[in-house]
Amino acid sequence: MPDPTDEELVTELLEKVVDGLGLAATVRVQEVDGQLVGTLDGEDLGLFIGRHGQTIDAVQHLAQRIVHVRTGEMRRVVIDAEGYRARRQEWLERQAEQAAEDARRNGRPVALDAMTASERRLVHEYLRERGGVDTHSEGDEPDRHLVVTPTSASTT
């Protein structure tokens, strides 16, 4: 019997978590642009997502570790349910935009709430493209957060 593929390993993990939580969901795992994307479709997947995405982030981390142990490579794995990742990205971008405006208008740094490393990276990249502000991370996990600072050119 051949070794299971990365897709099969992630599918098995997701199905076990869904079953363990007593949820009804369809699990789909596919490779997209070199990364594995696991998607859950169903109703009432809030328990799988968890408060502030903590459960879905933990499952995503487990999936990434399982693939890493099998392959020895740090392959990116993204787990999504009910479009949570897209909604979260929109919310983070709105928060980032508001912080950038506040920093520029008031001429002083604005600290955002704590967020995961992947969310901080998303906000860093979003605001770098936007311009007019600089960003850096402060604090220690799990309270590490982003600080948005106006550039000298944007405060004059």
Mean confidence (pLDDT) of the chain: 92
pLDDT digits (tens, 9 = 90+) for 92-118: 999 999 999 999 999 999 999 999 888
How many Å apart are CA 127 and CA 33, to the nearest integer?
Answer: 24
Q: What's the CATH number for 87-154?
A: 3.30.1370.50
What gap in Å lies between CA 17 and CA 11, rounded to an integer? Answer: 10
Predicted TM-score of the model (pTM): 0.80
CATH of 6-82, one of 3.30.460.80, 1.10.3720.10, 3.30.300.20, 3.60.20.30: 3.30.300.20
